[in-house]
Chains A and B, each alone.
Chain A
Amino acid sequence: GENVEQHPSTLSVQEGDSAVIKCTYSDSASNYFPWYKQELGKRPQLIIDIRSNVGEKKDQRIAVTLNKTAKHFSLHITETQPEDSAVYFCAASNTGNQFYFGTGTSLTVIP
């Protein structure tokens, strides 16, 4: 099955700086890569996703890049704000709609 690795496990940045979270996957059949934000005690919320036919996608301060050859994808958050503090999960899925998640990155934005 698919194996998704995520780094770093914890990340602290100053407010206004950028944050980058990286994931690798093992199954070359995976073609959909969503990112979820989970605040303490709350449900995971989809923040951005990318499909394998696209190399980069942006949504305001959030961007995701995908390198299919190397089997890795990254989340970039610019101009971080305290409300960006949360745990972020990457995931990979094939057309079977079965999602495999990374172990999470706890992001702390220091005011």
Chain B
Amino acid sequence: DAGVTQSPTHLIKTRGQHVTLRCSPISGHKSVSWYQQVLGQGPQFIFQYYEKEERGRGNFPDRFSARQFPNYSSELNVNALLLGDSALYLCASSHGDRGANQPQHFGDGTRLSIL
């Protein structure tokens, strides 16, 4: 089975632009979560989606938004990019059944650089 896939792998943007990152979960996984990983730090939780609904949001500004599609793939959108948005953006998927934590499996991430 294919793992979590993310696209693009690398992206360079300038301040003020917007960006869309994409994620396809492992087949059968209904939950997708997004994380921001700044160099030298642990992943920081941004969003969790389950069955196309937002189930959790981390401490990120409204410039960050996401959605999940009927096939469970997901997009992360970031508007008005700032230099501080430069990071590795990780997507993770899990079965996502509520009431029981499931292991999350990560993709390779999108390396976003803001100039």
A-side residues, CB < 8 A to B, are 1, 4, 6, 31-32, 34, 36, 42-46, 49, 51, 89, 91, 93-104
Contacts and interface: CB of A to CB of B under 8 A. Distances in A.
Interface of B: 4, 31, 33, 35, 40-45, 48, 50, 55-56, 58-59, 90, 92, 94, 96, 98-109
Given A97-B94, A97-B98, A46 B45 contact: no
Nearest to A1: B59
B8 to A, nearest CB: 15
A39 to B, nearest CB: 12
Instruction: Pick from B35, B44, B98, B101 the residue with the most CB of A within 10 Å.
Output: B101
Contacts of A91: 42
B103 A49 contact: yes
Contact of A100 (B41, B45, B101, B106): B45
